[in-house]
Structure 1
Amino acid sequence: MGCQTIGGAGCTIGPEELDGFLSEQLAGLDVDGRSVALVIPDDTRSCPLPRLLRIVHRSLVGRVRELVCVIALGTHEYMGPARIAEWTTGDPGADLAEAFPGMEIVNHEWRDPSALVRVGRIGDERMAELSGGRLSEGSDVLVNRRVAEADVKLVIGPVLPHEVVGMSGGNKYFIPGVAQEGFISRTHWVGALITSSHIIGAPAVTPVRAMIDEGAAMVPGERYCIAFVVRSHTTELESVSIGTPEDAWHAQARIGARTHVEYVDEPMPTVLSLIPDRYHDIWTAAKGFYKTEPAVAAGGEVIVYAPHITEVSQVHAEIYEIGYHCRDYFVKQWDRFKQVPWGVLAHSTHLRGLGSYDPRTGVEADRVRVSLATGIPREVCESINLGYYDPATIDPGEWAGRDGVTVVPDAGEVLYRLHSGGIDGADGPFPVTSGRPV
């Protein structure tokens, strides 16, 4: 199957056009009598999944021997039955057996070793090559057993700026989506060494993308992908590609890098990021910081406004112990922190942003301030090195009228950058040798 695309930047793909395109492409897919695993995002992503899933289900059921749909959680919390029903059908009370007869929908059970299977290994030297010298420790590649054992794998997922890999989508739904935590942590730590500010929104094959592609290529069977770009803050599709995960991602990454980036003329002194309900903890809501940091003024502040959030992480308790710090805080004290899961270290640096650390004085200097206006108590915020606001004292409408304040609705969707292309107060791109290879 060659890569086929409809739509483009600024386009709107109507329901009939989408149905006709996908139905025709899937009719030509060699799936008759074979087992098929669909790999879909969890509900922290914004996309019209029910619309897409109905078309794919109708096009495959009755032709395939077995059809399973695996939710690519990475290391996010497992989704319960009502959340799965709402995410895949739009109705939390829906009966999935009636909505999608002949198809099972399951979580990627990343905590269960028996649910994973080893598909290969990336050796030390190859890992160093892929990571640009940032990481010299190899890793086994383990993925979800249901996905690995299916004859055909079909990813269905959006492409948009991402803090770890550059642009999400494609093979990222295999790794970290349905992978084992060990290799996930390695990819995230390489992204942290590069820093979120410098990798986010890059539509190229970044070192992290290279690691992901290498691991995904070890997954047996045929791999395909329906990659797409959703118009920001809507459920309308601008563009859709179907082909190999590499080709479909490449076609959509170029579009997403144009339509999901907003450029500003001057650095923003204060940002109030309004976090939507689809983010359930700070681990996921941190996207409201990631996607504004590159355009925030040095010495400025980002306030993550999410009264509905009461937990820092529903899964990764280690973040309460280490708190949030810049990259060099960990790199320059590596022996102290190397036993902490590297994915947790990476998340910590991504939310704290650019900064420096002097091990002689113990002084950490962060480029911007980060504060939470959530249901998380002040003492917890301060213990993890973040500022605190009582959300009851913040009226987003009133704040929008203040000088120097930018209120970002539906934060986490659009990446903000300066027209100049630089980052205010930063030294520029970090060299390959930046950070400590491990």
Structure 2
Amino acid sequence: MLQHQIIAPAGQTLIEDEIRSALFLHLEKQFSGQRVLVLIPDHTRSMPLPFLFRGLTEALRGVRQLDFMVALGTHAPLSEASLNQLVGISAEERRARCAHIGLLNHAWNDPSALVSIGAIEKDEMRQLAGNDWHASLPERVDIRINQAALAYDHILILGPTFPHEVAGFSGGAKYLFPGISGPDMINATHWLGALAGVLKTIGVKDTPVRAMIHAGAQKVRTPITLLAAVVENQALSGLFIGDYRSAWSAAADLSAQRHIRWCDRSYQRVLSCAQPMYDELWTGAKAMYKLEPVVAPGGELIIYAPHLDTVSRVHGKSIYEIGYHTLPYFVQQWDRFKHVPLGVLAHSTHVRGAGNMENGIEKPNIRVTLASKIPAEDCARLNLGYLDPASIHAADWQNREEEGILYVPHAGEILYRRR
């Protein structure tokens, strides 16, 4: 049930006192004497987390134990200094005022940190996948989750909701799967999203992946409350408090209104400027996902990220092994690629975009070019185009939409679609 919602008028954001009052009203006495685990995003998601961290820690002063875990999925763990920075506290505050509060990383690849709570069997997987089912999906998915999820009296999920390339919209129970889950759920959900395709998934509320996420969440016995945020200009324009289904659903509806830009035409060239918070292509590729729908067939999308020098700290070796390719390239040569983690294959197809195979030749719908610190020879190996970022001047790209050129200065969260 949706317990509370506050929504700012279009073009405005919520007042901090309004948000703080909502947190106290619904959280201050609800969890007295309980052990509470709060799941939060890492630095690659926009949200005023330091403000919300302060509000939550004040509202939850009556709990017996309070810990925050970064729902990393397969992202690299944060250092102690980075954890402090994420929630907006100093090292001194961590030792004093916040000494009783745990700041934890999820460890997706540490079997000792995970526990199995069930499985998704072959028949259920077929049902969840529907028309997107493919024999490359695993016949059985072990639903493993960070064992901390079972060690508390209550789980709070605090995170933003945006259009998402794998789940349709981010947020909600996605902070469980893949947020604090084991590799089976991470790989299977991402590959199912790849089979469905970004163009058919992103900005869509009811998707096979969301159904799979909720199927896994049903097996978590710890009670869960969701604080779903909708973020604009680094501030909240909406906050929804309730169970992980209803609060997420309401947040996704508002996200669809605030985070989708409708265009009257397609563009031959798009300069999509990845935000500095994306410090590797694994996340910086959101600059591709959110713009692909408005790139004309045969057109070019440039991921402009002059700060970026890494493909992926965790998965880089596998990505360099296979490069970036369309979905048919992999499924039509499955024996050649079936050893690669499904999550890596999914990322590859998402970055390269839609396309097909003709007489054994890959035919992507658009060209994808990378303008970053990743050198030209690496881009060639990865099957991406290369452009020297120093050759790009923003002024040359602005106000040229009538020419079929689109400039997007803060790409990665707002979805662009054809009207």
TM-score for both structures, normalised by structure 1: 0.91
Identity %: 44
Structure 2 partner of 1:392: 390
Structure 2 partner of 1:153: 155
Over 3 Å counting, the alpha-carbon distance change for 1:188 and 1:389 in structure 2 is same
User: Aligned equivalents of 1:368 and 1:320: distance in 2?
Assistant: 21
Query: Do 1:125 and 1:138's aligned partners in 2 also have CA atoms closer than 8 Å?
Result: no
Structure 2 partner of 1:367: 365
Structure 2 partner of 1:245: 244
Query: Do 1:224 and 1:245's aligned partners in 2 also have CA atoms closer than 8 Å?
Result: yes
Structure 1 partner of 2:184: 182
1:106 to 101, 104, 122: 104
Report the residue type matching 1:143 in the other structure: I
Structure 2 partner of 1:411: 411
Report the residue type matching 1:297 in the other structure: A
Report runs of 4+ in structure 1 exceeding 3 Å deviation.
Answer: 91-95
1:346-388 alpha-carbon deviations (Å, 9 max, x no partner): 0000010010013xx3200000000100000100000110000
User: Aligned equivalents of 1:224 and 1:22: distance in 2?
Assistant: 12
User: Aligned equivalents of 2:104 and 2:344: distance in 1?
Assistant: 25
Structure 2 partner of 1:221: 222
Query: Do 2:65 and 2:101's aligned partners in 1 also have CA atoms closer than 8 Å?
Result: yes
Report the residue type matching 2:146 in the other structure: N
Report the residue type matching 2:376 in the other structure: R
User: Aligned equivalents of 1:3 and 1:352: distance in 2?
Assistant: 41
Structure 1 partner of 2:33: 33
Over 3 Å counting, the alpha-carbon distance change for 1:321 and 1:255 in structure 2 is same
SS of the residue 1:202 aligns to: coil
Deviation at 1:268, TM superposition (A): 1.2
Structure 2 partner of 1:349: 349
Query: Does 2:212 correspond to 1:211?
Result: yes
Structure 1 partner of 2:338: 338
Report the residue type matching 2:202 in the other structure: I
User: Aligned equivalents of 1:20 and 1:313: distance in 2?
Assistant: 40
Query: Does 2:202 correspond to 1:200?
Result: yes
SS of the residue 1:43 aligns to: coil
1:207-246 alpha-carbon deviations (Å, 9 max, x no partner): 1000000111111210111001011xx1221110111111
SS of the residue 1:153 aligns to: strand
SS of the residue 1:77 aligns to: coil
Report the residue type matching 1:16 in the other structure: D
Structure 2 partner of 1:23: 24
SS of the residue 1:132 aligns to: helix
Query: Do 1:84 and 1:92's aligned partners in 2 also have CA atoms closer than 8 Å?
Result: no
User: Aligned equivalents of 2:143 and 2:222: distance in 1?
Assistant: 15
Deviation at 1:99, TM superposition (A): 5.0
Structure 1 partner of 2:259: 260
Deviation at 1:32, TM superposition (A): 2.2
Deviation at 1:92, TM superposition (A): 6.5
1:9-42 alpha-carbon deviations (Å, 9 max, x no partner): 625210111111111011352x222211100011
Structure 1 partner of 2:81: 82
Over 3 Å counting, the alpha-carbon distance change for 1:123 and 1:268 in structure 2 is same
Query: Does 2:135 correspond to 1:137?
Result: no
Query: Do 2:225 and 2:243's aligned partners in 1 also have CA atoms closer than 8 Å?
Result: yes
Tell which deviates more after alignment, 5-14 or 390-399: 5-14
Deviation at 1:405, TM superposition (A): 2.0
2:124 to 126, 139, 164: 126
SS of the residue 2:130 aligns to: coil
Query: Do 2:282 and 2:312's aligned partners in 1 also have CA atoms closer than 8 Å?
Result: yes
Deviation at 1:145, TM superposition (A): 1.5
Query: Do 1:223 and 1:244's aligned partners in 2 also have CA atoms closer than 8 Å?
Result: yes
User: Aligned equivalents of 1:406 and 1:315: distance in 2?
Assistant: 32
**CA-atom RMSD in angstroms:** 1.5
User: Aligned equivalents of 2:369 and 2:375: distance in 1?
Assistant: 12
Structure 2 partner of 1:306: 305
Report the residue type matching 1:216 in the other structure: A
Tell which deviates more after alignment, 268-277 or 168-177: 268-277
Deviation at 1:2, TM superposition (A): 4.4
Deviation at 1:136, TM superposition (A): 6.0
Over 3 Å counting, the alpha-carbon distance change for 1:369 and 1:2 in structure 2 is closer
Structure 1 partner of 2:234: 235
User: Aligned equivalents of 2:356 and 2:283: distance in 1?
Assistant: 24
1:21-69 alpha-carbon deviations (Å, 9 max, x no partner): 111011352x2222111000111000111111111111113x2222111
1:291-322 alpha-carbon deviations (Å, 9 max, x no partner): 00011111111101111111111110201110
Which stretches in structure 1 are left out of the alignment for 5+ residues?
420-438
Structure 2 partner of 1:423: none
Deviation at 1:94, TM superposition (A): 5.9
SS of the residue 1:245 aligns to: coil
User: Aligned equivalents of 2:82 and 2:290: distance in 1?
Assistant: 26
Deviation at 1:96, TM superposition (A): 2.3
User: Aligned equivalents of 2:225 and 2:173: distance in 1?
Assistant: 9
Report the residue type matching 2:3 in the other structure: C
Tell which deviates more after alignment, 74-83 or 381-390: 74-83
Report the residue type matching 1:307 in the other structure: P
